[in-house]
Amino acid sequence: MTTSTVLLRLTGLTKTFGGLTAVDNVTFDVQQGQIYSIIGPNGAGKTTVFNLITGIYKPTAGDIVLGGQSIAGLTPDRVLRRGITRTFQNIRLFNNMTVLENVLVGQHTRIPGDLPSVLLHLPNYRRADSRAHARALELLRFFGPALVARKDDYAANLSYADRRRVEIARALGSTPKLLLLDEPTAGMNDPETAEAIGYIRTLRNEFDLTILLIEHKLQVTMGISDQICVLDYGKKIAEGVPAEIQRNELVIEAYLGRKAPVE
């Protein structure tokens, strides 16, 4: 951690669905340039935190501050314009669009959207559009020439690992400050997971990102995280550097269950 600027700050973030409190008074800071992980058992509210940050849900209480400005309650497209993008746990590509088109949609905000520009393909629109094409190819190339070769294939026809890659390429299209990755190694075996971890580090360095990561696999988070927050039943039960988390009694309990009382 070279700088100590807070990029994202959650304060008392709460979300209830009827009687269920999915996220309960969660507070944490993410520093600029960090890889910050949120871990916790199934149903702990990790994805809900992501949905709150990206504006898919509106918080019941609490605040979300990005670089000093509150983004709580903004619509997802506004949140993206402020510099946050995300991937989804179950990979949500536009299946009947080509790989290139998927990555182009990620750059939607970089192309003028006013009606005259769009309708008449005015010079400023054309320039932005060809810049977007070039950048889309660049992003695909980052993940290897194999993906560039498949740019005109429909996203539905890609392998699972390639779909993950395209989703990240799409998310990077808007040149975000903060990238939210929701279980990027879900469904991957050990060698693939190792490769993905390498990618996450490279992404942070190459694209000058701060990364907020949801991860199930403890070995993944321990290896790459600067800071970890543990959620259980919507509450933050621990926060700290990986070594602290590994020793934390509450965390072990949340994952493995309570120790049987010794007679």
Partner 1 sequence: MSTQTQNLRGPSSIMGTVRERLDKTQIGGRPPSYYLSGWRLGVFFLALALLFPLVTDQTLQVTAISVGVYVLLALGLNIVVGYAGLLDLGYVAFFVVGSYTVAVFTGGILQRSDGTVAEIRQFPFWYLLPLAALLAGLFGVLLGAPTLRLRGDYLAIVTLGFGQILPIVFQNVPWFFGQLGMSALPPPDIGPISFSDTGNRAPFYYLTLLLVVLVILAVSSLRDSSLGRAWVAIREDETAAAASGINLVRTKLLAFGLGAVTGGIGGALNASFLGAIAPTDFNFGISITILVMIVLGGLGSIPGVIIGAMLLRFFDVYLLGKINDTVHSSPLVTGDGSPLHFLATLDFNTAKYLIYGLILMAMILLRPQGLIPNIRRQRELAGIGAAPEGVSAVGLFEQEVAGEELAAVDVGEQTEYVGEGSEALGREDHV
User: Under the criterion CB under 8 A, does residue 247 sit at the interface with partner 1?
Assistant: no
Q: Which is nearer to partner 1, 41 or 67 (CB)?
A: 41
Q: Are 52 and 21 in contact (CB under 8 A)?
A: no
Q: Select 162 or 239, whichever has its Cβ closest to partner 1.
A: 162
**CB of residue 84 vs partner 1: minimum separation in angstroms?**
9
CA 74 to chain centre: 17
**What residues from 76 to 115 belong to the interface with partner 1 (CB under 8 A)?**
76-77, 80-81, 85-86, 88-98, 101, 104-106, 108-109, 111, 113, 115
Burial class (CB in 10 A: 0-12, 13-18, 19+), 128: middle
Among positions 129-148, residues that touch partner 1 (CB under 8 A) are: 129, 132, 146
Long-range pairs of 235-241 with CB within 8 A, sequence gap ≥ 24 = 235/24, 235/25, 235/26, 236/25, 236/26, 236/27, 236/28, 239/28
Q: Toward partner 1, which CB reaches closer, 3 or 160? A: 160
Q: Interaction with partner 1 in 27-56: which residues (CB under 8 A)?
A: 41-43, 45-48, 51, 54-56
Can you tell me which of 119, 258, 259, 262 binds partner 1, judged by CB under 8 A?
119
Subset of residues 169 to 208 that bind partner 1, contact rule: CB under 8 A: 170-171, 173-174, 186-189, 191-192, 195
The SS3 of residue 217 is coil
Supply the minimum distance, in Å, between the C-beta of residue 16 and partner 1. Answer: 11
Q: How far is the CB of 203 from partner 1 (least distance, A)?
A: 17
**Any alpha helices (H) in 25-122, and if so which ranges?**
46-53, 76-81, 99-105, 115-120
Phi, psi dihedrals of residue 220, rounded to the nearest 5°: -70, -55
Cβ-contact 220, 226 below 8 angstroms: no
Q: Shortest Cβ distance from residue 44 to partner 1 (Å)?
A: 8
Q: How far apart are the first and last CA of the chain?
A: 46
Tell me which residues in 202-241 interact with partner 1 (CB under 8 A): 216-219
Determine the Cα–Cα distance for residues 183 and 185; give it in Å rounded to an integer.
5
Each residue of 49-87: b (16+ CB within 10 Å) or e? bbbbbbbebebeebebbbeeeebbebeeeebbeebbbbb
Residues 150-169 that bind partner 1 (CB under 8 A): 152-163
Q: What are phi and psi of 166, to 5 degrees?
A: -65, -35
Q: Which stretch binds partner 1 (CB under 8 A): 66-74, 135-143, 203-211, 255-263?
A: 255-263
- Minimum CB distance to partner 1, residue 3 (Å): 27
Residue of the chain from 3, 58, 121, 131 that contacts partner 1 (CB under 8 A) = 121
How many chain residues bind partner 1 (CB under 8 A)?
79
